[in-house]
Amino acid sequence: MDRSASLPSSPSLPTPGSAEPAQPAESSALSRAERFVWLTARVLEQRRFAYHFLGGGAEAVETALAAYLGTDGGYGHALEPDLRGPVSQPLHAVHALRVLDGIGRCGGQRVERLCRYLTSVSTPDGALPACHPSLRGYPAAPWVPSADDPRSDLLTTGPVVGLLHRNEVWHAWLFRATDFCWAAVAALGEDGATTRPYEVAAAVAFLDGAPDRARAEAAAERLGRRVREERLIVPPTAPERTEDRPLPPVQGGESLQVHDIARTPGSLARRWFTDAEVERSLDVLVAAQQEDGGWPHRRSWTPGATLEWRSVATVEALLTLRAYGRRT
């Protein structure tokens, strides 16, 4: 039986762990997304979808995520689809922590082992590179940086530190990594340097989880002013159906909307934008769902990775819409 025709009706997306199936307030969007997930997604995204929207269990998500776990405590095997091969990488750690945070399982021995892995691949100043040299020899997207002596990068360190603090994880690795993040956020846009939208997203991921809330709010206010002044995130003027076209890139291939920065209403970045700007951004997100039920991925380099990313993007889009109480 085609489940896309059998989902009952509800005013909003169901909460994770609820016993009730996905309900059709989202009839068209959610049921088409479900069909896309079952048809194309990796087991991990199928389990995440089931957990968040069909009342599935967290244990099944953990089991699927464990398939990407390496003997060093890190994650590999293309968990982050742009990095292929079996070796653990910091970007895979970011992805894994987001999954665990989403199911309320970001703690325990698994995270303790992951912190030991993070310590082993950190740069001399105690932070994470975007890409560890162990990836050399394995396929990766052309925009993934490759260096024998990589520098610390806010793109990986910010989200990892923010998620660990958000879940009240305490480990020796966090001390210097947290100091790096504070300094990196303060330095964004200084001395004429160009601030990239993805750096802003990483900074927000850190600030949303940083334990010093007063300092985080002050830093977010300063960063928000820069974002508005430099128009790093340009709020849309009107939604546009993307159909089978990718989302339009900006600033050298980076394309971010308001909802990509302020992923939930509780994010510090939400304060940077008016209600109307947020609503227009969500309209764009709704309109981006394609005819096959999935959401697009912004940058493509190989068909397999693109399809895997689309399943990730589909789950994340639905989670963002639900966080803002959107009926699609």
User: What is the pLDDT confidence band of residue 235, given thresholds at 50, 70 and 90?
Assistant: confident
Listing DSSP states for 16-73 in one string gives TT-SSPP-GGGHHHHHHHHHHHHHH--HHHHHHHHHHHS---HHHHHHHHHTTB-TTS
Contact residues for 296 (Cβ-Cβ < 8 A; gap 6+): 242, 245, 246, 247, 288, 290, 310, 313
Summarize pLDDT for 82-108 with one digit per residue, the tens.
999 999 999 999 999 999 999 999 999
| Residue 150: predicted pLDDT | 95
pTM, whole model, 2 decimals?
0.87
Q: Which residue has the higher pLDDT, 299 or 304?
A: 304
- What pLDDT does residue 24 have? 46
pLDDT recorded at residue 11: 39
Condensed to tens digits (0 to 9), the pLDDT of residues 155-174 reads 999 999 999 999 999 999 99
